[in-house]
Structure 1
Amino acid sequence: MKATDAMLHLDAVARSIPEPVLPPNALNSQISEILRATRPFLDTDRDRILQNIDVLQQQLSVYDTLLDRIDEVRLEMQSHRDAVHKSMAAYSSSLAPIRHLPSDILRAVFLEVQISLWWNPERLKSHSDSGPEVLDFSQGPWKLSHVCGAWRYIVLSYPQLWSRIVLQFGRSNGPVTTLRHKVPALKAAILRSAQHPLDIVFKLWTVRCAGAEITANEDAAVQAFPVLLEESYRWRSIDANLSITLLEQLKVVRGKIPCLESLTLKTSHYPYLSAEELPEDVRSVFIDAPRLQKVILHPTRGPNCFMLPLHITRLATFMGKVSDVEAYQSLVECHLAIKEDPDVSPPIPSTFLMSDASFYRHRICFRGCAYLP
């Protein structure tokens, strides 16, 4: 690049720009007096003013033409600079240490990022006004896959990164027609997870209206839920807020959840429907889960509502009766939450131990409802 020659030509162009030809100062003074009304407007003034306007207009046309050409040259020069900068950035980026990390190291780092961002209820506070995204594309593999081509290849070819799925249906997710577009993205994520076990969060949030709970965007949730039900044989953990409609859909997974280890379930409250009125095929969905160990049942359902396998080892729920958990002899930890009433003394100690020669020791904790883990 001959930068010196270019600068010499630019200097020559700058020197060739014509100087402006302005009216004489005497005429300027007369124009100022006319504008201030300190002298009358004479008949002879008109011709002189028009003549000077014509001269000035011609000069404006010349400067406009020169400026247009300068703008064209500047745009062309900016284009050349951008091309050079892009090339330099690519070459410089190739020297970055992270570019030389082995793929398995990057996979491990990406997985740690995914785990660190995995379902954190505290993040919901930041969505108090706008509501959470149904499928948050700003987190996890969605974000990492748009950094560069090399990262995208690693992310798209690493099933574990796609095995953690969070779906949230709240008040401000948008119209149902927009939410339907999330289903193809959900299917794509599941496809990329290959056959890796799935950790799922499925939240259908409710709002209180006139003392009753109203589900938000249930239609969109009903459309997305079957996509997850088809993969029930890969469920490792599920944390769900479900309506009665979704519970009815859930019954198809009985006997098809061989990998399920952890269950957290909350259902919408319907005053007219008691636990005993849930259909048996809904209540018995999890009875045949061979690996289920940890169960958290939030109100309004307790262990007397859902039939659970007797081999579970950890249980947290809102209690009906202590006898409801006596059948689970493999428990090593059990949290039973009760409503706190400051005027009524608890009939039993807040924490006690049960033991039997044939079974493990059971730790039963009675807590206020606010402390249910």
Structure 2
Amino acid sequence: MSQICEQCGAPLANLRLPTVDFSPSSRDFTSLLASNEVPLDSDLPLIREIISSGQSQVDMLSSQIYNLQVKLNQLLRRRDDVANNVHRHQAILSSIRRIPPELLCGIFLMTLDSNEDAAKNPPWYLGQICRAWRHSALSFPILWSSITVPSVSSGDSGLVSLVEAQLLRSANAPLDVYWRNIKSGINPHLAGVVLAHCSRWRTLCLEETHATPSLHPLNWLGVVRGRLHRLERLETNIASTVGNVIIPDVFLSAPKLHQVYLTDERLLNASPTFSLPWRQITHHRGKFSLQEHRRILEDAPNLVSCTLIFIADGTGFPPGTVITLPSLRSLSLGELRFLLQLTAPMLSELVSLSTPPTSFAILLPFVRSSGCTLTKLVLMRCAICPELIDTLRGLPAITYLLIEASNGGPHSILFDAMTISGSPSDLCLNLSFFAYGHRFRDYARDHLLAMVHSRFPSTSLAVLRIFHDGTANPPGAWARLQPLREQGLDAEYLGRSRAPLLLQHARIV
């Protein structure tokens, strides 16, 4: 087999390399080459001959190199063309062509689930993907089961056609319907198209981003009464004042309705008041007056998780009022004083959105009277005080603890109390997740680090989150945590942009 040129890939037998004459001359000029001596006049003709002969060889070699480069470029282009042709034909044998349509669409559904905005928007862009995938997507009803109904003018027939097409592709799949910017002047044709499929609604979200002072009737929902056979989740996110939204009582006959979220995730908007089948509700989030919350809880004995935000109206519970929620496991409260009227023997997760010093006189008595075992405790806008430490001492089963400090100190008393010393008085020995938030430059960082070092790896602590509003020490101040991270502690320092995500996840139980 002939040898191949490493530069251009051509057989060496086909290359005619020039002969280069490096033979020494009859006169040795080594001494002149290594010094600055002036050559003899008799040597000048010979030196000029060497230069002339060498320059001719340089020109000849340059010409050969140029020709070889031209040939090499041609070979490279030919190789790329052949490689592209091979790659195109390899795609024919790709195993992805043999993926079952169900699995392919399942992967796409996972993508939608990981992106909330994508999940709420019709996936019209699917038409841009390859033909086989497009066919699978168009014939997979679940991909088309999320319907967004925007606020549009009555003459927007193009949008109506798109919604009709999506409903047709969704076949008989349960529908998640997001009704944005609800108002009395809705597009009747578009509303009629969506309302006709109300027997397939699984989720209904009613959103209004602009508050209006006048009454806001949603009478057009009346046609769904008695037809919500699949409805499981109801959401309202309405920027309005109390009493100016009228929702018809059409949900009392929804047999599968278990989740009702009647205010936004940031807990800003007052909840509309309307009739619901509270006895079957298991998950609830609402912003009502104290009396309305009382009425709801008395009618909802099967609640498992709820978030209760209070609208101040100057009223209170009658003396001796006690509401028992035997199935409640997760509770988020705007004010802990509500615990005085509550018994929840199964409660394991408690979130306080405002925790002044007076709150701690309520928390432990509630836990003891209910006989519950708290494992997750979130104290937002929390006062750092001795009463906090006494409360933690009475909650030995805590595994998840998040504290957002509301005052400037003394932070050190908390961290010193939580430092493991091996004594029976050590706090929260089962703690696996600890998060601490602050807005202050002086928050006893050294005491906090000493506490963490005492807990890891000797205790179950596995996750540490420190968050702040962006004005305190930068992440570089936490270099002392690096050895612990290298040992396996999941530790992060969250700034202004990421801290809200942690808080939102923690407070919405």
TM, length-normalised to structure 1: 0.54
User: More displaced, 292-301 or 220-229?
Assistant: 220-229
**Structure with larger RCO (C-alpha < 8 A, sep 6+):** 1
1:95-174 mapped onto 2 (5 Å cutoff): 95-119=93-117, 136=121, 140=123, 142-169=124-151
The answer for unaligned runs of 5 or more in structure 1 is 1-83, 122-134, 170-174, 206-214
Q: Paired residue for 2:166?
A: 189
Partner Cα separation in structure 1 for residue 218 and residue 508 of structure 2: 22
1:291 aligns with 2:233: no
1:143-292 mapped onto 2 (5 Å cutoff): 143-169=125-151, 176=153, 179-204=156-181, 219=185, 221-241=187-207, 247-267=218-238, 269=240, 273-274=243-244, 278=246, 282-292=247-257
SS at match of 2:234: strand
SS at match of 1:241: strand
8 Å contact 1:258–1:289 — kept in the other structure?
yes
The letter of the residue matching 1:114 is L
Q: Paired residue for 2:337?
A: 348
Shift of 1:315: 1.0
1:105-156: CA deviation from partner (whole Å, max 9, x where unpaired)? 21222222232334469xxxxxxxxxxxxx956xx3x223321211121111
1:324-339 mapped onto 2 (5 Å cutoff): 324-325=295-296, 326-338=298-310
Shift of 1:318: 0.4
Shift of 1:88: 8.6
The letter of the residue matching 1:110 is F
Shift of 1:101: 2.2
Partner Cα separation in structure 2 for residue 221 and residue 151 of structure 1: 34
Shift of the 352–324 alpha-carbon distance from structure 1 to 2, 3 Å rule, reads: closer
Shift of 1:180: 3.5
The letter of the residue matching 2:308 is L
Shift of the 90–143 alpha-carbon distance from structure 1 to 2, 3 Å rule, reads: farther
Q: Paired residue for 1:308?
A: 277
Shift of 1:351: 9.1
Partner Cα separation in structure 2 for residue 234 and residue 177 of structure 1: 25
8 Å contact 1:163–1:197 — kept in the other structure?
yes
Q: Paired residue for 2:22?
A: none
Partner Cα separation in structure 1 for residue 349 and residue 283 of structure 2: 10
Partner Cα separation in structure 1 for residue 148 and residue 114 of structure 2: 14
The letter of the residue matching 2:236 is L
Shift of 1:158: 0.7
Partner Cα separation in structure 2 for residue 316 and residue 366 of structure 1: 14
Q: Paired residue for 2:62?
A: none
CA RMSD between the two structures: 4.0
User: More displaced, 220-229 or 253-262?
Assistant: 220-229
Q: Paired residue for 1:43?
A: none
Question: What is the aligned-residue identity percentage?
Answer: 25
Partner Cα separation in structure 2 for residue 232 and residue 103 of structure 1: 28
8 Å contact 1:355–1:362 — kept in the other structure?
no
Partner Cα separation in structure 1 for residue 136 and residue 178 of structure 2: 24
The letter of the residue matching 1:336 is L
8 Å contact 2:249–2:274 — kept in the other structure?
no
Partner Cα separation in structure 2 for residue 182 and residue 97 of structure 1: 38
1:316-346: CA deviation from partner (whole Å, max 9, x where unpaired)? 10022232221111112221113599xxx95
Q: Paired residue for 1:69?
A: none
The answer for unaligned runs of 5 or more in structure 2 is 1-81, 264-268, 314-333, 355-503
Shift of 1:231: 0.8
Partner Cα separation in structure 1 for residue 130 and residue 253 of structure 2: 45
1:194-253: CA deviation from partner (whole Å, max 9, x where unpaired)? 111111222117xxxxxxxxx7xx756554222221111001111221596671111211
The letter of the residue matching 2:282 is T
Shift of the 119–168 alpha-carbon distance from structure 1 to 2, 3 Å rule, reads: farther
Shift of 1:305: 3.1
SS at match of 1:151: helix
Partner Cα separation in structure 2 for residue 87 and residue 227 of structure 1: 50
Partner Cα separation in structure 1 for residue 248 and residue 350 of structure 2: 24
The letter of the residue matching 1:254 is R
SS at match of 1:239: strand
Partner Cα separation in structure 1 for residue 148 and residue 116 of structure 2: 8
1:263-311: CA deviation from partner (whole Å, max 9, x where unpaired)? 101345267x556xx4xxx441111111110001123334x43333421
Shift of the 227–364 alpha-carbon distance from structure 1 to 2, 3 Å rule, reads: farther
Partner Cα separation in structure 1 for residue 128 and residue 287 of structure 2: 44
1:60-86: CA deviation from partner (whole Å, max 9, x where unpaired)? xxxxxxxxxxxxxxxxxxxxxxxx9x9
Partner Cα separation in structure 1 for residue 196 and residue 91 of structure 2: 43
8 Å contact 2:335–2:352 — kept in the other structure?
no
Shift of 1:348: 1.0
The letter of the residue matching 2:100 is P
The letter of the residue matching 2:128 is H
The letter of the residue matching 1:182 is L
Q: Paired residue for 1:40?
A: none
Shift of 1:157: 0.8
Shift of the 117–363 alpha-carbon distance from structure 1 to 2, 3 Å rule, reads: closer
Shift of the 328–120 alpha-carbon distance from structure 1 to 2, 3 Å rule, reads: farther
8 Å contact 2:219–2:248 — kept in the other structure?
no
SS at match of 2:302: coil
Partner Cα separation in structure 1 for residue 117 and residue 189 of structure 2: 22
Shift of 1:94: 2.3
SS at match of 2:299: coil
Please identify which structure carries the higher helix content.
Answer: 1
Shift of the 197–334 alpha-carbon distance from structure 1 to 2, 3 Å rule, reads: same
